[in-house]
Amino acid sequence: MLKIATAAALVAALAAAPAPADAATGRWAAAWATGVQQPSPDVWYPTWAEKGFADHSVRQAVRVTAGGSAVRIRLSNAYGTTPLRLTGASVGKAGAGAAVQAGTLRPLTFAHAASVTVPTGGQAASDPVRLAVEPGERLTVTLYFQGATGPATYHNLAMATSYRASGDHTRDLGAAAFGETNSSWFYLSGVDVYGGEAAVATFGDSITDGYAATQDADDRYPDALARRLNGRRPVLNLGIAGNRLLNDSACLGERGLTRFRWDVLGQPRVKTVIVLEGINDILLGMQDPTPCTTPAVKVGAADLIDGYRRLIRTAHARGVRIIGGTLLPAGLPGEAEAVRDAVNAWIRTGGEFDAVVDFERAVADPADPDRIRPAFDSGDHLHPNPAGYRAMADAVDLHTL
């Protein structure tokens, strides 16, 4: 785990880093994106990130939510302790498992070179390649690292299978070499398309990230929202499991107030954001801290409301519409439930968000509104199942987007 001083320096570097080219203008639009995290041995899900890669090809499949005539990828070395040397890369349309559809594989270049060095704390975008894609198609990105990378910047809870092979397999159409699997994304932070529309970002914690969704089925709430929009607007999932609005975590992402600037406003052509965050601030502030939840700070409704107001000001300063999502029921103890109720009352009636989506009422049990409806409960009484995620997406008034 990085020392606090090093982590603080990386946060400063991220905040100061320029957005990718054409982030605010031009015809490029984000079609897929994820929030990146610091590798840590203390995070809840097993991953390759802590050791990184050496003479490995890493193949990752993502579902784009916008169509276009060309694509490019974005890479992040936000938490690298040294410059990242990428030896080669390719993109294509995903087949079954780690396979790539014949006729769609495209080698990627970076400033017309096959390899690129991404600076410590920095990012890089590939050159565009002609590959016509439709909303809802799955793309496969393969990255080859000849040398040792060290700990890898990644996204932990992908709810998607990534594949690894020894040696350079960036040109392989078949899946035979890719015998190892994992459930995180590594270094890949975005896929953009040329000709796409302005995006809707969904921002939050594990409920946005999709904990308890179905592996490789893309049935999180942002996925269901993207299907409702049917390509009219791309939807970006910028949730990080365990993330909090007000406090940093050594392995679950910087606080939402900080990462909002690069995870949402750093995306190409985001015009609307749906915010659903705060339940971890309430829950973790009342529990004993772990390495991932230090500091465990008790928060009240006024603290969270102040945080939302700061997000609103930040979004509006960039001309981005911001929609507030009410916090889902979780059967909280009395004091915590009082905080959640007060926060939701303010979100609904405060008039400070540009619009509201009432996720709480969409999934609440009519017989006990402080709990998730049994048909929508994943079993932990906190996270919805895929049916619950569909109900959340259905609660969004598309006209507010």
Whether 240 shows a pLDDT value over 70: the answer reads yes
Cα 71 from Cα 267, distance rounded (Å): 15
Whether 398 shows a pLDDT value over 70: the answer reads yes
- What is the average pLDDT across 329-340? 95
The answer to whether the peptide bond before residue 18 is cis (omega within 30 degrees of 0) is no
φ and ψ at 392, to 5 degrees? -60, -45
pTM of the model: 0.93
The first and second tokens of residue 243, run together, are: 């993330």
What pLDDT band is residue 277 in, cutting at 50, 70 and 90? very high
What pLDDT band is residue 26 in, cutting at 50, 70 and 90? low
What pLDDT band is residue 44 in, cutting at 50, 70 and 90? confident
Q: What does the pLDDT read at residue 254? A: 97
Superfamily of domain 197-400: SGNH hydrolase (3.40.50.1110)
Q: What does the pLDDT read at residue 304? A: 98
Would you call 59 exposed, middle or buried from its count of C-beta atoms within 10 A (0-12, 13-18, 19+)? buried
Whether 380 shows a pLDDT value over 80: the answer reads yes
Per-domain residue ranges of the chain? 22-192, 197-400
* pLDDT tens by residue, 93-134: 999 999 999 999 999 999 999 999 999 999 999 999 999 999
Cα radius of gyration (the chain): 20
Q: What does the pLDDT read at residue 182? A: 97
φ and ψ at 166, to 5 degrees? -80, 135
Whether 228 shows a pLDDT value over 60: the answer reads yes
Mean pLDDT of the chain: 93
* pLDDT tens by residue, 248-274: 999 999 999 999 999 999 999 999 999
